[in-house]
Amino acid sequence: EQNARIALQFAHRGYVLNTGEIVAQGPSEQLACDPDVKAAYLGG
């Protein structure tokens, strides 16, 4: 999904990819609060 913030609101679990490799995975709530994920993929 191109809008990760919206996708995490609907998904139970998420995977974050960087050049085809999984760099983070877990429950959506956990990914949405992860500072590294927020900085790199959620704009903040």
Please give the pLDDT value at position 22. 95
34: helix, coil or strand?
Answer: coil
Strands (E), the chain: 13-18, 21-27
**pLDDT, one tens digit for every residue, the chain (44 residues):** 568 889 899 999 999 988 999 999 999 999 999 999 888 888 76
Please give the pLDDT value at position 20. 93
Does this model's pTM top 0.85?
A: no
Please give the pLDDT value at position 1. 55
